[in-house]
Amino acid sequence: MSYTPIWAENPEKLNKNEFMKLEKDGLDIIQDVYRYAETGFASITASDFDLFKWAGVYQQRPKEDGYFMMRVRIPSGILSAKQAKTLAGISRDYGKDLVDVTTRQAVQFHWLTIENIPDIFARLAEVGLSSFEACGDCPRTIVGNPLAGIDPDELIDTTPLVQQISDTFLLNRDFSNLPRKYKISISANPYNPGHAEINDLAFVPAVKVIDGQEVIGFHVWVGGGLSAKPFLAKQLDVFVKPEDVVKVAIGVTTIFRDCGYREKRHHARLKFLMADWGPEKFKEKLIELVGELPTRGEDKTIGWNAGYFTGVHEQKQEGLSYVGLSVPVGRLSGAELEELARLSEEYGDGSLRTCNSQNIVIANIPNEKIHALLQEKLLERLTPNPRHFTAYAVSCTGDEFCNLALVETKERMRQLAAFLDEHIELDEPLRLHMVGCPNSCGQRQIADIGFQGALVKTEAGMKDAFDIFVGGKLGENAKFNEKLKGRVLADDLNRVVLHLVAFFKEERLENESFFDFVNRVGTAPFQTRLDELLKQLNA
| DSSP sequence for 431-471 | -EEEESSTT-TT-GGGSSEEEEEEEEEETTEEEEEEEEEE-
Question: In whole angstroms, what is the distance from residue 153 CA to residue 309 CA?
Answer: 13
Total residues belonging to the chain: 539
Which listed residue (53, 71, 73, 300) is catalytic?
71
Q: List the catalytic residue out of 26, 442, 453, 475.
A: 442
Q: Is the separation of the CB atoms in 437 and 470 below 8 Å?
A: no
Which residues have CB under 8 Å from 133's CB, separation 6+?
26, 27, 54, 56, 73, 139, 140, 169, 170, 171, 176
Q: Reply yes or no on whether 441 is catalytic.
A: yes
State residue 149 phi and psi, 5-degree precision. 95, -20
> Which of 21, 104, 140, 180 is the catalytic position?
180
124: closest CA among 156, 157, 170? 170
Distance in angstroms (rounded) separating the CA atoms of residues 206 and 362: 28
Is residue 268 within 8 Å of residue 261, measured between CB atoms?
yes
Q: Give backbone dihedrals phi and psi of 139, rounded to 5 degrees, phi first.
A: -65, 120
Amino acid found at 450: G
Q: Specify burial of residue 127 (Cβ count, 10 A radius: 0-12, 13-18, 19+).
A: middle
61 is known as an active-site residue:
no
Q: How many whole angstroms separate alpha carbon 112 and alpha carbon 69?
A: 6
Model pTM score: 0.97
Q: Cα separations (Å) of 306 from 143, 164, 357, 435?
A: 13, 25, 7, 17
Q: DSSP strand E in 1-93: where? A: 57-59, 68-72, 78-80
> Looking at residue 1, what is its pLDDT?
58
Q: Report the alpha-carbon distance of residue 437 to residue 439 in Å, rounded.
A: 6
**Of 21, 61, 140, 181, which is the active-site residue?**
181
**Which entry of 355, 441, 444, 475 is annotated as an active-site residue?**
441
Q: Which residue type occupies 507?
A: E
The three-point CA angle 342-348-352 to 5° equals 65
SS3 484: coil
Helix (H), strand (E) at residue 84: helix 81-94
DSSP 63: G
Domains of the chain: 6-299 (3.30.413.10), 315-382 (3.30.70.3340), 391-538 (3.30.413.10)
* Secondary structure letter of residue 300 according to DSSP: -
Options 251, 307, 436, 453, the catalytic residue: 436
Of 76, 285, 108, 51, the C-alpha closest to 199 is: 76
**Tens-level pLDDT at each residue, the chain (539 residues):** 578 999 999 999 999 999 999 999 999 999 999 999 999 999 999 999 999 999 999 999 999 999 999 999 999 999 999 999 999 999 999 999 999 999 999 999 999 999 999 999 999 999 999 999 999 999 999 999 999 999 999 999 999 999 999 999 999 999 999 999 999 999 999 999 999 999 999 999 999 999 999 999 999 999 999 999 999 999 999 999 999 999 999 999 999 999 999 999 999 999 999 999 999 999 999 999 999 999 999 999 999 999 999 999 999 999 999 999 999 999 999 999 999 999 999 999 999 999 999 999 999 999 999 999 999 999 999 999 999 999 999 999 999 999 999 999 999 999 999 999 999 999 989 999 999 999 999 999 999 999 999 999 988 899 999 999 999 999 999 999 999 999 999 999 999 999 999 999 999 999 999 999 999 999 999 999 999 999 998 87
The Cα 406–Cα 452 span in angstroms is 9
- Which spans in 327-439 are helix H? 334-347, 370-374, 388-391, 410-423
Distance CA 362, CA 183 (A): 26
Active site residue 181: yes
**CA separation, residue 103 to residues 7, 332, 423 (Å):** 32, 15, 27
Other residues' Cβ atoms within 10 Å of the Cβ of residue 231: 19
362 SS3 class: strand
Does the annotation count 436 as an active-site position?
yes
Contact assessment for residue 175 and residue 257, using Cβ atoms and an 8 Å cutoff: yes
pLDDT at site 2: 75
Is 180 labeled as catalytic in the residue annotation? yes
Q: Cβ contacts of residue 18 below 8 Å, gap of 6+?
A: 7, 179, 262
Does the CA dihedral 149-150-151-152 come out positive or negative?
A: positive
User: Catalytic site residue 56?
Assistant: no
How high is the pLDDT of residue 460? 87
